[in-house]
A and B are shown apart, each in its own frame.
Chain A
Amino acid sequence: MRGGQVVPEAVELPSEVASVAAAEAWVAEVCEACGLGEGEQYRLGLAVHEAVVNAVLHGNRQDPAKRVRLSWERRAGRLYVTVGDEGEGFTPPEPSDGPSLKPSGRGLVMIDRLTDGYQIVRRDDPPGTDLALVLKLIK
């Protein structure tokens, strides 16, 4: 609840880079509703930012006919934020011992370290891929 308004449990955004800012604003409200501190807000905010970038660029390939779907729920002492796209899915990169000098491919590595875990779930209806981010809630 923020300013007397309930944070939407789910929102849909266009497959464009500008949606990243809208997603950041939405997850900031989610964090506030859950009473998260500044550090946790930063971690989850950046993780969602990276997940939405992946969904827009790689999942939906900026197809204007496709949408990015965000949802959240609190369950069993954890906050789950799901970022869904209409893409074919992906395989997480293998752990690397050393630094990579490639210009891309760091989003999931950052998500892994910023959150308390994530799951990639293939979805059938509507077809696509969900990336579920998990953050433990401190009581």
Chain B
Amino acid sequence: MAKIDTRYDGEVTILDITGRLTIGDGDVVLRENVRRALSDGSKNIVLNLEQVTSVDSSGIGEMVASYTATSQQGGKLKLLKPSMKTRDLLTITRLITIFEVFDTEAEAVESYS
């Protein structure tokens, strides 16, 4: 079962995701956590994908829905440390042009300032 831990670095909310971002598992957990972060007033959200073990189209779809929901709140959702496989899926689906992707947390947090 996927797990998400939420932490903060200044005005940036970082969601550390562990496990599978797939149908019926991580996709639901991601939706709940992003909605909670937005309702708590977060606008700058980073999804830390370093510990994500697999992603499917449902997980990709939930990342897109989270991106859209965050944008509608006047914020920005960005990705941190996706695996090569996840990057490939983002390329296949052309979403690599939508998401800002970072290799280090410091760069991701700094990008909001």
Given contacts A17-B24, A20-B23, A102-B64, whether A113 and B92 have CB atoms under 8 Å apart is: yes
B73 at the interface (CB under 8 A from A): no
Residues of A within 8 A of B56 (CB): 46, 49-50, 53
Provide the B57-74 mask, 1 if CB < 8 A to any CB of A, else 0.
110111011011000000
| A56 and chain B: residue at smallest CB distance | B23
Grouping DSSP codes into helix (H, G, I), strand (E, B) and loop, the B interface class, with mixed when no group exceeds half, is helix
Whether the pair A109, B65 counts as a contact (CB closer than 8 A) is no
A18, closest chain B residue (CB): B24
Tell me the residues in window 50-109 of chain A with beta carbons closer than 8 Å to chain B beta carbons.
50, 53, 96, 98-104, 106-107, 109
Q: Number of contact residues on A: which range applies?
A: 20 to 34
Complex Cα distance A18/B25, Å?
11
Q: Is A109 within 8 A of B64, CB to CB?
A: no
| Cross-interface CB contact of B23 among A17, A42, A99, A100, cutoff 8 Å | A17
Partner of B85, one of A42, A49, A102, A107: A42
Please tell me if A25 contacts chain B, counting CB pairs below 8 Å: no
Q: If A50-B56, A113-B92 touch, does A103 touch B61 (CB 8 Å cutoff)?
A: yes
B97 to chain A minimum Cβ distance, whole angstroms, is: 6
A5 to B59, CA, bound (A): 34
Instruction: Determine the chain B residues whose CB is within 8 A of the CB of A99 once the complex forms.
Output: 93-95, 97-98
Choice from A53, A101, A110, A114 contacting B64 with Cβ under 8 Å: A101
Residues of A with C-beta under 8 A to B38:
none
Q: What's the least CB distance linking B55 to chain A, in Å?
A: 9
Q: Is residue B101 within 8 Å, beta carbon to beta carbon, of the partner chain?
A: no
Chain B interface residues (CB < 8 Å from chain A): 22-24, 54, 56-58, 60-62, 64-65, 67-68, 85, 89, 92-95, 97-98
- Listed by A's residue number, 24 A-B pairs whose Cβ atoms lie within 8 Å are A17-B23, A17-B24, A20-B23, A46-B54, A46-B56, A50-B56, A50-B57, A96-B94, A99-B93, A99-B94, A99-B97, A100-B64, A100-B94, A101-B64, A101-B67, A101-B68, A102-B61, A102-B64, A104-B57, A106-B57, A106-B61, A107-B57, A109-B93, A113-B92
